[in-house]
Chain A
Amino acid sequence: MTKGICMNWTPEEELVFVARRRTRNIMIGIVLAAFAALFYGITVSKLVV
């Protein structure tokens, strides 16, 4: 459990905040990983050709 993000938040609100942040980080991670894989694929593809 993350503590102290905002003193006015209830435990439920803090859970939601953490869940939202996790979703955002996962989405950005997926996008960056996908493009990194594409770059690798492009490099290999051009080397092969």
Chain B
Amino acid sequence: MATNPLHAENGRTPSAVLPASGGAPARSDTLPVSEWRDFWALLKPRVMALVVFTGACGLVAAPGALSPFLSFVAILCIATGAGAAAAFNQWWETDIDGIMQRTANRPLPAGRLSRDEALGFAIILSVASVVTLAFAANWVAAAWLAFSIFFYAVVYTIWLKPRTPQNIVIGGAAGAFPPIIGWAAVTGDVTTLPVLLFAIIFAWTPPHFWSLALFVRTDYAKAGIPMLPVTHGITETRRQILLYSLVLVAVSVLPWVLGLVGAIYGVAAAVLGAVFLFLSVAVFRSRTEASADMEAERQLFKYSIIYLFLIFAALVADVMAA
């Protein structure tokens, strides 16, 4: 039965979509069926939540105003563009995802979606989100969105990720664009504050990602991805995490130092940054090499997500209070 592509795939049973009179019971181990949630999973909804939030914060922080409906459309376009980029990523990395335990059950490696379906979906979402954003807001924001999709799909996924341990440092820029896009949707240009917001996410990405990479490094090694813990070892990764955390804290207080935002943001950035540094030092000082025992790394990873939400929330609170 080599001619049937479905035979090589594993996943959910198709019985859920077979009619009651659909003949003999299906072989649940060989015939996966796609569902709407597989298309949804293709968009990496958890990553999308962070993108939506930071994009919305950029939009709110920008001087001027977009109507509520157009703001909603702009944020939806940013989310959809991010989802499209994630779909491109999974389309390109189907083989790698299949090797890694963390990603093996994604719709493509599990065989619930075909690569052609994923690519088609990604193209439709990319074009639709960019064009819609152009009409809802302006072409500057749309161009930034198009560039961010290109950056994530091509520069990060295809070019950098398989080649250099600096992959997520430079590739992290892709996830840092949403505040710029949100800002540009309102103003039609990009000034110092959105660039600093970009810089915060840019500096945040390495400690965030490497703290995860430390305790799943065997997965990356198995898949042949040159993540820093795989290429340069655990100690060097911990040192880099601390260095980037210092950069992050310095960059995060810059909007306050430069007088672009008020004290609400400044105090929040200082306090949140101090906790971030504290946890980074704990990672730096940790000597454990067993993934299961890497509590400091797990704590930093979890906190880094909360940190980004809170610092952007503080920015919005500051702007609203002004």
The interface of chain A, by Cβ under 8 A from chain B, is 6, 8-9, 11-13, 15-17, 19-20, 23-24, 26-28, 31-32, 35, 38-39, 41-42, 45-46, 49
Cβ contact of A42, chosen from B36, B73, B121, B128, cutoff 8 A:
B73
Residues on the B chain within 8 Å of A8, using CB: 1, 3-4
Cβ of B33 and Cβ of A20 under 8 Å apart? yes
Q: Could you say which of A13, A15, A23, A46 contacts B34, with CB atoms under 8 Å apart?
A: A23
Give chain B residues whose Cβ lies under 8 Å from the Cβ of A31.
Answer: 121, 124-125, 128
Say which residue of A19, A39, A41 sits within 8 Å of B17 (CB atoms): A19
**Residues of the A chain whose Cβ atoms lie less than 8 Å from the Cβ of B135:** 39, 42
Q: Are A38 and B136 in contact (CB under 8 A)?
A: yes
Number of interface residues of B (CB under 8 A): 35
Asked whether any CB of chain A lies closer than 8 Å to the CB of B67, the reply is: yes
Contact of A20 among B24, B34, B76, B125 (CB under 8 A): B34
Asked if B14 and A16 sit within 8 Å, CB to CB, the answer is yes
Shortest B188–chain A CB gap in Å is 15
Q: How far is the CB of A5 from chain B (nearest CB, A)?
A: 10
Number of A-B contacts defined by CB within 8 Å:
84
Give the Cβ gap from A39 to chain B, nearest Cβ, in Å.
7
Instruction: Point out the residues of chain B lying under 8 angstroms from A6, CB to CB.
Output: 3-4
In the complex the two chains form, is B31's CB within 8 Å of A16's CB?
yes
Chain A residues lying within 8 Å of B27, measured Cβ to Cβ, are 12
Q: A12-B26, A38-B76, A45-B70 are contacts. A32–B124 as well, Cβ < 8 Å?
A: yes
Chain A residues within an 8 Å CB radius of B35: 23
CB contact between B31 and one of A12, A26, A39, A46 (< 8 Å): that residue: A12
B27-56: contact bitstring with A at CB < 8 Å (1 yes, 0 no)? 100011111101100000000000000000
Tell me whether B14 and A19 are in contact (CB under 8 A).
Answer: yes
The answer to whether A23 and B33 have CB atoms under 8 Å apart is yes
Is residue B195 within 8 Å, beta carbon to beta carbon, of the partner chain?
Answer: no
User: How far apart are the CA atoms of A24 and B112 in the complex, in Å?
Assistant: 11
Shortest distance from the beta carbon of A26 to any chain B beta carbon, whole Å: 7
Q: Is there a chain A Cβ closer than 8 Å to B236's Cβ? A: no
With A27-B121, A28-B121 known, 17 other A-B pairs at CB within 8 A are A8-B1, A12-B14, A12-B26, A12-B31, A13-B31, A15-B14, A16-B26, A16-B32, A17-B6, A19-B34, A20-B114, A23-B33, A23-B38, A26-B36, A31-B121, A41-B69, A42-B70
Q: With the chains together, A46 CA to B136 CA distance in Å?
A: 9
A41 neighbours in B (Cβ, 8 Å) = 69, 73
A41 to chain B, nearest CB (A): 6
Contacts of B3 in A (CB 8 A): 6, 8
B239-263 CB mask vs A (1 if < 8 Å, else 0) is: 0000000000000000000000000
Q: Once the chains are docked, how many angstroms separate the CA of A5 from the CA of B196?
A: 55
A31 to B36 Cα, complex, angstroms: 12
